[in-house]
Amino acid sequence: MFRKRVSSSSASTGRTSFGGASSGSRAPGGRAGGSRGGFSRGGGRSGGFGGRSPSRFSKGGPRIDINRFVNKAKPVVAEAAYISKNKFADFDIHPKLKENIVKKGFESTTPIQDQAIPHILQGKDVVGIANTGTGKTAAFLIPLINKVFHNKNERALIVVPTRELGQQILDEFHTFADRSGLRAALCIGGASMGLQKRDLRYNPNFVIGTPGRLRDLIEQRCIDLSQFQNIILDEADRMVDMGFIADIRFLIGLMPKERHSLFFSATISKEIEVLIRTFLRAEHISISVKSGDTAASVDQDIIRVPNKEKKLEVLHELLMKPEFGKVLIFGRTKHGVEKLCVMLAKLGHKVASIHGDKPQSKRQQALNDFKAEKIKILVATDVAARGIDIPNVSHVINFDIPQTYEDYVHRIGRTGRANKTGIALTFVE
CA distance linking residue 213 with residue 199, whole number of Å: 14
CA distance linking residue 58 with residue 156, whole number of Å: 44
pLDDT at 366 exceeding the cut of 80: yes
What topology is assigned to 54-76+294-428 in CATH? Answer: Rossmann fold (3.40.50)
CB atoms inside a 10 Å sphere around CB 7: 13
**What is the average per-residue pLDDT within 303-312?**
90
CA distance linking residue 321 with residue 81, whole number of Å: 35
- The band of 380, judged by pLDDT with boundaries at 50, 70 and 90, is very high
Q: Where are the alpha helices (DSSP H) in 187-324?
A: 193-200, 211-219, 236-241, 245-253, 270-279, 308-319
This prediction's pTM = 0.67
List, for residues 136-165, the tens digit of each pLDDT value.
999 999 999 999 999 999 999 999 998 889
The DSSP line for 107-175 is -BPPHHHHHHHHHHHTT--EEEE--TTSSHHHHHHHHHHHHHHH-TT--EEEE-SSHHHHHHHHHHHHH
- CA 244 to chain CA centroid, nearest Å: 16
pLDDT at 125 exceeding the cut of 60: yes
CA distance linking residue 81 with residue 78, whole number of Å: 8
- pLDDT cut 70: percent of the chain above it: 80
User: Higher model confidence: residue 95 or residue 268?
Assistant: 95
pLDDT at res. 131: 74
List, for residues 227-280, the tens digit of each pLDDT value.
999 999 998 988 887 889 999 999 999 999 999 999 998 888 888 888 888 888
pLDDT at 130 exceeding the cut of 80: yes
Region of 177 please: left (phi>0), alpha (psi -120 to 50) or beta: alpha
List, for residues 169-220, the tens digit of each pLDDT value.
999 999 999 999 999 999 998 889 999 999 999 999 999 999 999 999 999 9
pLDDT at res. 84: 85
List, for residues 308-361, the tens digit of each pLDDT value.
889 999 999 999 999 999 999 999 999 999 999 999 999 999 999 998 888 888
- The band of 417, judged by pLDDT with boundaries at 50, 70 and 90, is confident
**What is the average per-residue pLDDT within 281-298?**
78
54-76+294-428 and 88-288 share one CATH topology? yes
pLDDT at 13 exceeding the cut of 50: no
The DSSP line for 340-365 is HHHHHHHTT--EEEE-TTS-HHHHHH
* DSSP β-bridge partners for residue 187: 209
Task: Report the greatest alpha carbon distance in the chain.
Answer: 79
pLDDT at 103 exceeding the cut of 90: yes
pLDDT at res. 78: 54
- The top-level CATH class assigned to 88-288 is alpha beta
Question: Which of 19-33, 124-138, 326-340, 395-409 shows the highest mean pLDDT?
Answer: 326-340
CA distance linking residue 268 with residue 264, whole number of Å: 9
Hey, where are the domains in the chain?
54-76+294-428, 88-288
pLDDT at res. 289: 86
CA distance linking residue 61 with residue 416, whole number of Å: 27
CA distance linking residue 380 with residue 408, whole number of Å: 13
Among the listed residues 291, 296, 293, 299, the one whose alpha carbon sits nearest the alpha carbon of residue 395:
299
Q: Cα–Cα distances in Å, from 183 out to 86, 190, 342? A: 28, 21, 39
CA distance linking residue 111 with residue 80, whole number of Å: 12
- For 339, phi then psi, to 5°, come to -65, -45
CA distance linking residue 396 with residue 321, whole number of Å: 14
